[in-house]
Amino acid sequence: MVTAQDPAIYRPHIGTDFTIDAGDSRIALRLAGVVDDGTVTGMRQFSLLFHGPGDRVLADGIYSMQHPALGALDIFIVPVAGTTAARAIYQACFSAPEAGHE
């Protein structure tokens, strides 16, 4: 079974946009990468890297994102090192029990 806690659902969507409704505007964050750290002590760990516009850096927080194929997702993102005036970089980290280890 594939869930939102599985990096496999995100890989086919690298290079596509997730849209955030930021109140007065909509902001597109492009999925730039999926980093799969595998399973450590029964916990599946991975992260998503997003690129967004550099002129408006979002604060740490949970954002409701829309994706054409994945639908609505609430994801906690943080801006990370590498953010410039041209591009903001965000990371979302996931850690969930591996199937059979709940």
Please provide the size of the chain in residues.
102
Residue at 24 is within a domain: yes
pLDDT (tens digit per residue) in 5-40? 788 899 999 999 999 987 788 999 999 999 998 888
Q: How many domains does the chain have?
A: 1
- 2 located within any domain: no
Q: Name the band, by pLDDT with cuts 50, 70 and 90, for residue 1.
A: very low
Distance between CA atoms of residues 9 and 32, nearest Å: 14
- The verdict on residue 1 lying in a domain is no
Residue 85 lies in a domain: yes
Residue 60 DSSP SS3: coil
Residue 102, in any domain of the structure: no
Q: What is the pLDDT of residues 41-66, one digit of tens each?
A: 888 899 999 999 998 889 999 999 99
Look up the pTM and report it.
0.87
30 located within any domain: yes
Which residue segment(s) compose the domain that 71 sits in? 7-97
Question: Which residues, other chains included, contact 39 with Cβ-Cβ below 8 Å and sequence gap of 6+?
Answer: 45, 98
Tell me if 77 is assigned to some domain: yes
Hey, how many other C-beta atoms are within 10 angstroms of the C-beta on 90? 22
Q: Are 20 and 69 in contact (CB under 8 A)?
A: no
